[in-house]
Structure 1
């Protein structure tokens, strides 16, 4: 995974975990990738993944079952959406809005591009 300068890497990892759940690659109530395995996969220190998992536990998105591992919470979907919306509005939307203004893009044009993107990437 390529990380951006902002937000912090542990937050980007938390967003990645949420994305896997939203895309239904990781199912609600099921075990998720261990801290060490995700650290290897992401090429980061395991403490960084631990910090991401701690954040997700605080948000009640994942739970730690001692001796077994981490699991997605059965009712996490709405909390994930809230967390991801907050992160998007705080970190990505200001850049997006600035570019819309600077490039004098029209919202109808953006809507058309968005609709095509969804069709190409998420509808089967």
Structure 2
């Protein structure tokens, strides 16, 4: 995994694991790599991975079964969806709305975008 400087590494690891869950590459009940395994694979400190796992555990995304390892929680995908929506509305949407205002985009501009999104949705179904 290539890390970028715009976000803390432990958050990037959390986002990567979250993406794996959201894309059904890791399913509820699946065991995820141990802290040590993932730290070696990603070439980061174990404490960095543990910080990611702790955050995900606090958010109800993974569960720690003592002596066995970490597993994807049954309702992980639902919890992730809610968390990501909240993050979007709190952090990303205000910046987008600011750009809409600065660029003086009209409702016609935005309707064209929504039409494009809807046509892509229909193609993917």
TM-score w.r.t. length of structure 2: 0.75
Question: Structure 1's 118 and 14: CA in aligned 2 closer, same or farther, altered over 3 A?
Answer: farther
CA deviations 1:21-49 (Å, max 9, x no partner) are: 11101111111133233334444332222
Per the alignment, residue 104 of structure 2 pairs with: 104
Q: Does 1:114 align with 2:87?
A: no
CA distance in 2, matches of 1:38, 1:88: 27
Question: Structure 1's 108 and 27: CA in aligned 2 closer, same or farther, altered over 3 A?
Answer: same
CA deviations 1:61-116 (Å, max 9, x no partner) are: 10112222211011222211111122222332222222232233422132234346
Q: Cα RMSD over matched residues? A: 2.6
Aligned pairs for 1:1-124 (under 5 A) are 1-3=2-4, 5-6=6-7, 8-105=8-105, 106-115=109-118, 123=124
Question: Structure 1's 114 and 43: CA in aligned 2 closer, same or farther, altered over 3 A?
Answer: farther
Structure 1 gap ranges (5+): none
Residue 17 of structure 1, CA deviation: 1.7
TM-score w.r.t. length of structure 1: 0.76
Question: Structure 1's 58 and 30: CA in aligned 2 closer, same or farther, altered over 3 A?
Answer: same
Structure 2 gap ranges (5+): none
CA distance in 2, matches of 1:80, 1:18: 7
Question: Structure 1's 118 and 10: CA in aligned 2 closer, same or farther, altered over 3 A?
Answer: farther
Aligned residues: 121
